[in-house]
């Protein structure tokens, strides 16, 4: 069965972006294992707000993957490189995990992360903690109803204080 992997950057206070989606605080110099990670996945999942943010980067970064964007609007016009999904997110991801292929990259954001966490559909977390406190912003997980234990399998420290925490379901 395919795994859903959340590979994500956060601040020390667990925000993935500032209040208006700002990510200018993220380290952009350095590779941090991203290329190796991308070799393990052939599919991405993201919420619509995350997709809109990625569109502002210019060239779409996931052209080699099958990309699903979850939206509440079933009438979104077609877009290059993505398929908009307005159906039941949990059922869709459950079915996707059963299909043949490489693992699945959960790009985010906070709402889709929390929804899939609550449904027990995230298998691994690779969290890159940046040495900054934002104070407010978009949390890595919107409010969840219960606790979720994880097992730490690896840590890495990079220059400038960036720390990678790799967890599997506990």
pTM, entire model? 0.95
Compute the distance between CA of residue 99 and CA of residue 6 in angstroms, rounded to an integer: 19
**Separation between Cα atoms, residue 38 and residue 147, nearest integer Å:** 29
Q: Tell me the per-residue pLDDT of 90-104, one tens digit each, with 9 for 90 and over.
A: 999 999 999 999 999
Question: What pLDDT score does 57 carry?
Answer: 86
pLDDT tens figures, 15-46: 999 999 899 999 988 888 999 999 999 999 99
| Tens of pLDDT, residues 135-163 | 999 999 998 889 999 999 999 999 899 99
Tens digit of pLDDT for each residue in 64-84? Answer: 999 999 999 988 888 899 999
The domain ranges of the chain are 4-169
pLDDT of res. 43? 99
DSSP calls for 20-66: TS--TTS--SS-TTHHHHHTTEEEEEEEHHHHHHHHTTSS-TTTTSE
CATH for 4-169 (3.90.1170.20, 3.40.430.10, 3.40.605.10, 3.30.1490.100): 3.40.430.10
Taking all residues of the chain, what is their mean pLDDT, rounded to a whole number? 95
Task: Output the CA–CA distances (angstroms, integers) from residue 102 to 6, 57, 127, in the order listed.
Answer: 14, 26, 20
């Amino acid at each position: 069965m395919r795994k859903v992997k959340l590979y994500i950057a956060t601040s020390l206070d667990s925000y993935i972006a500032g209040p208006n989606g700002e990510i200018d605080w993220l380290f952009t110099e350095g590779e941090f294992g991203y290329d190796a990670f991308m070799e393990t996945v052939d599919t991405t999942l993201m919420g619509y707000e995350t997709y809109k943010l990625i569109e502002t980067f210019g060239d779409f970064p996931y052209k080699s993957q099958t990309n699903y964007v979850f939206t509440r609007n079933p009438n979104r016009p077609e877009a290059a490189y993505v398929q908009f999904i307005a159906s039941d997110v949990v059922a869709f991801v459950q079915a996707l995990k059963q299909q043949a292929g490489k693992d699945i990259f959960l790009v985010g954001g906070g709402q889709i992360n929390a929804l899939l966490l609550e449904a027990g559909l995230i298998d691994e977390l690779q969290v890159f903690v940046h040495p900054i406190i934002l104070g407010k912003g978009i949390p890595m997980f919107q409010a969840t109803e219960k606790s979720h234990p994880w097992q730490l399998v690896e840590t890495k420290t990079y220059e400038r204080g960036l720390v990678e925490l790799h967890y599997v379901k506990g």
